[in-house]
Amino acid sequence: MQPLTIALSKGRILEETLPLLVRAGIEPERSQLDSRRLIIDTSRPDVKLVIIRAADVPTYVKYGAADLGVAGKDVLMEYGGDGLYELLDLKIAVCRLMVAEPAGLAERDDPRDWTRLRIATKYPMTTRRHFADKGIQTDIIKLYGSMELAPLVGLCDRIVDLVGTGKTLKANGLVEVEHIADISAWLVANRASMKMKHAPLKDMAQRLGSAAQG
Ligand code: PRT
Ligand code: MG
């Protein structure tokens, strides 16, 4: 069998992909998963997992360092899905990309009046594109995390961030004011692997697809 490498990120993506892999008949080596190893063997000698940062998954897959990867749609939108195939919506790690602002501002704010916005976000490209399409200019402040803090300390008026339960926004006195995109994790594939390893790749996508549905 031709070997297959699947890129995953620690945290949410790994946690929610593991049950799908198990249902697809791929049991990762538990002792390796719990260690600091970055290459994980599985019950299938031809399938290995590599554990990397979420934002690096598209890069590994694009360059063929991994044949397959699991990445949030937010990451794919921001870092470009070009150079790879978006094969399958796994419908895991579900959340939404939203514009949020302090509740006090929201009381007197009308998104229809927006012409220029100062926004803090981890997603500058996606944010700029979203507002440019609506003719709204943006001054974007790039952050790497804890976006919810930025409006509270005067860094910006609004943020663009992922919202799951909404608890983080609520705890920081922020409210959602505009929806940008629904987000879930996708199975992505390297373009060359799709040709060279067509059969094993298709088989894996099918197994994960039925695991995601069942
Ligand atoms: O943490 P690290 O810096 O290594 O990378 P990462 O933050 O990109 O990884 P991780 O594991 O946090 O997120 C991986 C992927 O999970 C993201 O790319 C999304 O596709 C997906 N996902 C799903 C989420 C959430 N739900 C989510 N709620 N990613 C982040 N959040 C954060 C959000 O940014 C906010 O701070 O959780 C907070 C809000 O949660 P609620 O439930 O309070 O609304
Ligand atoms: Mg995180």
Rounded to whole angstroms, how far apart are CA atoms 75 and 51?
16
Which atom of ligand 1 is closest in space to residue 93's alpha carbon? 23
- Ligand sitting nearest the alpha carbon of 93: 1
Show the DSSP H helices in 24-123 as ranges. 30-33, 57-62, 73-79, 103-108
Query: Do the Cβ atoms of 70 and 17 come closer than 8 Å?
Result: yes
pLDDT at 127: 98
pLDDT at 1: 76
Rounded to whole angstroms, how far apart are CA atoms 71 and 63?
15
CA of 145 to the centre of ligand 2 (A): 7
pLDDT at 139: 98
Give the homologous superfamily in CATH for domain 95-181.
Periplasmic binding protein-like II (3.40.190.10)
Q: Tell me: the pLDDT tens digits for 120-165? A: 999 999 999 999 999 999 999 999 999 999 999 999 999 999 999 9
CA of 204 to the centre of ligand 1 (A): 26
pLDDT at 141: 98
- Give CATH for domain 4-93+184-212: 3.40.190.10
Per CATH, 4-93+184-212 and 95-181 having the same topology is answered yes
pTM beyond 0.85, yes or no: yes
Domain boundaries, the chain: 4-93+184-212, 95-181
Rounded to whole angstroms, how far apart are CA atoms 82 and 1?
28
- Regions of the chain short of the pLDDT cut 70: none
